[in-house]
Amino acid sequence: MTNPLLFDAIQEGITRYGLSILLVFGNIGNILTIIVLSKTTKQKPNSCSFYLLSACISNWIVINTALVSSIVGVDHIDPQNTSNAICKLRWAGTHALLMLSRSFMIAGCIDRWALCSQNATIRMFSRPRIAIRVIIILVIVWTLIPIHLAVYFSNNTGRCVALAGTYAFFYAIYSLIVIGIMPLFLMMFFSYLAWHNLQAIRSRVTPTQGTVNPVSQHVQIHKRDRDLMKMLSGEVLVYCITTIPYPINLIYSVSTASIASTKSPIRLAIESLVGYIITPLLNFMYCCVQFYGKMILGSF
């Protein structure tokens, strides 16, 4: 029978070497993206560029705080398990930064949909000054919302976790909806609408009638906007790949919680390893590999 300690060793190896590789490539990718988008916003401000740049900055902060902390915790005592203040700050701060990144991506998808809309009022959303206001509002919102994590996360048990009982159940539902389902749905929904509107704009002449399509009559999409749409699509794709397993695993964990006492040590070890790969490994991967996803899609 396989020794459960083997899975612990695999998890430690992933933390030590896998996260270290992500840290290096994540810093390279995010710094290059920040440089490129900073030049773009200075030369000719674009609303989508502001959202992508803000998301990239959030990701860069995450990998140089939470990711570094996870790597350090392999060979040293994790400070979040010894200091209650660090425990609360790390969970609330990391959650705020990750949700800011996701929210900026959602705003970018809405921005591209608005840009391709035939409605002039909706197209007004796709303006740099509107993007700056939205970014400020999102920063304020995601500074306030994670306060409950700072209140109800504690290391009283020796590990920094959510307090057992009602809040643990609430946090599971909150995570499923706010982290797992809602961002995925909104990104995919508005990305689909944006590409649908873009296809309508490209079809300027109706094949059967030889007339100008009214959808694209007053809407022009420049090459730079199309490139930003491709870039955003690449980031949405990376987010979907790295996030879809999260709600699935969370639903499984909640649904099998009642039989946890009957699970074998091997099953518990496997579930722990799978849970670690999904969270936090895939979360960190989302923050680190977006630049390379854009390169593959040819948007850089």
H or E element, residue 264: none
* Rounded-to-integer distance, Cα 284 and Cα 172, Å: 20
H or E element, residue 28: helix 19-43
Topology (CATH) of 13-200+221-297: Rhopdopsin 7-helix transmembrane proteins (1.20.1070)
* Digitized pLDDT (tens) for each residue of the chain, 300 residues in all: 567 788 889 988 998 999 999 999 999 999 999 999 999 888 888 999 999 999 999 999 999 999 998 898 888 888 888 999 999 999 999 999 999 999 999 999 999 999 888 888 999 999 999 999 999 999 999 999 999 999 999 998 888 989 988 998 899 899 989 988 999 999 999 999 988 888 877 665 445 444 444 444 455 566 667 777 877 888 888 898 898 898 888 888 878 878 888 988 899 899 999 989 988 899 899 999 988 876 666 556
pLDDT at 212: 47
* Rounded-to-integer distance, Cα 232 and Cα 225, Å: 10
H or E element, residue 154: strand 153-154
pLDDT at 249: 86
